Chain A
């Protein structure tokens, strides 16, 4: 399927919004760590990246809806792989935390989220290979 121009523009928008979210996220982290602020301002800064991610989610779903039926199936199978893997990781880390007291600085949820896009990419790769 030759992607229409508006789809390519859509992918560009997704990339830009994702980049904006990442910048806002790391900016918020930096501010929360280094800047002296009142409680409500800290809450506002913590919530600042949320609208960017919400917009990313809307554009991402719109992009998936523009795909053909096989591409949508691949996305579904990717999520069917990634979601249980994420649950497995969190469950295992939770149990290990109880067993051997894992260092919070290395294994907290703040670090674990990095694995989620990795699992999703792995799922996409496995699902796409099935239909090659």
Chain B
């Protein structure tokens, strides 16, 4: 899953530590999400979306959209 977390964080000039504190997770978790090594749970994804004031699909996109 791709995400725009790093871009959104940079737009607000937040460090990973600041974002981690606001999300109540470890900095390692923020790093792993940003680098695509870890996909957050749905509750955490919603928390991220709420923090940035955006719909969840604007922040997280699937790697490949499958055909119906």
A-B contacts counted at CB < 8 A amount to 41
Whether A131 contacts B28 by the Cβ 8 Å rule is: yes
Bound-complex Cα distance A128 to B29 (A): 11
Q: Identify whether the interface residues of B are mostly helix, strand, loop, or mixed.
A: helix
Number of interface residues of A (CB under 8 A): 12
B21 at the A interface (CB under 8 A): yes
Q: Which residues of B contact A128 (CB under 8 A)?
A: 28
Number of interface residues of B (CB under 8 A): 16
B38 at the A interface (CB under 8 A): yes
18 additional A-B pairs beyond A1-B24, A130-B37, beta carbons within 8 Å, are A1-B21, A1-B23, A1-B25, A1-B26, A1-B27, A1-B29, A2-B21, A67-B26, A68-B25, A68-B26, A68-B29, A69-B29, A70-B26, A70-B28, A70-B32, A70-B38, A71-B26, A71-B28
